[in-house]
């Protein structure tokens, strides 16, 4: 996911030079099946809650309001929620992994800082 944070810049480089940056070579691509859920996910992502443990999944209530406003049928609501929930759950899990890695790296930096010869009496 290292490319994800620089996606806009990488696409600009690709457009300006006409050469695909190496960082985009293994970029995952959404199949057609996931384009609809991804669009809904992007629209509803701002409605998620944040807790002491980090990001929470998009609440069904927010999705339901969105689906009613877009005149989805019951079958469409059920189908889209299943896909959206899976998409969102995966994103939250990856976000939590990244946050855990960041915490571990920070703890390691702090540990090295404390054990540094400069900090010893």
Number of helices (H) and strands (E) in the chain: give both, helices first.
Answer: 4, 2
| CA–CA gap between residue 103 and residue 105 (Å, rounded) | 5
What pLDDT was estimated at residue 121?
A: 56
| pLDDT at residue 1 is higher than 50 | no
| CA–CA gap between residue 67 and residue 44 (Å, rounded) | 11
What pLDDT was estimated at residue 24?
A: 76
* Model pLDDT for residues 69-108, shown as the tens digit of each residue: 999 999 999 999 999 999 999 999 988 898 889 889 999 9
| pLDDT at residue 115 is higher than 80 | no
Q: Which residue has the higher pLDDT, 78 or 35?
A: 78
């Amino acid at each position: 996911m290292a490319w994800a944070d620089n996606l806009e810049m990488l696409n600009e480089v690709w457009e300006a030079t006409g050469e695909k940056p190496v960082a985009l070579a293994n970029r995952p691509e959404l199949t057609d099946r996931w384009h609809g859920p991804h669009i809904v996910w992007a629209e509803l992502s701002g409605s998620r809650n944040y807790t002491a443990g980090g990001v929470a999944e998009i609440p069904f209530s927010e999705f339901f309001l969105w689906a009613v406003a877009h005149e989805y049928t019951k079958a469409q609501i059920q189908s889209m929620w299943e896909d959206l929930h899976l998409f969102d759950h995966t994103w939250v899990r990856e976000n939590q992994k990244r946050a855990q890695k960041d915490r571990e790296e920070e703890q390691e930096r702090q540990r090295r800082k404390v054990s540094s010869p400069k900090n010893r009496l």
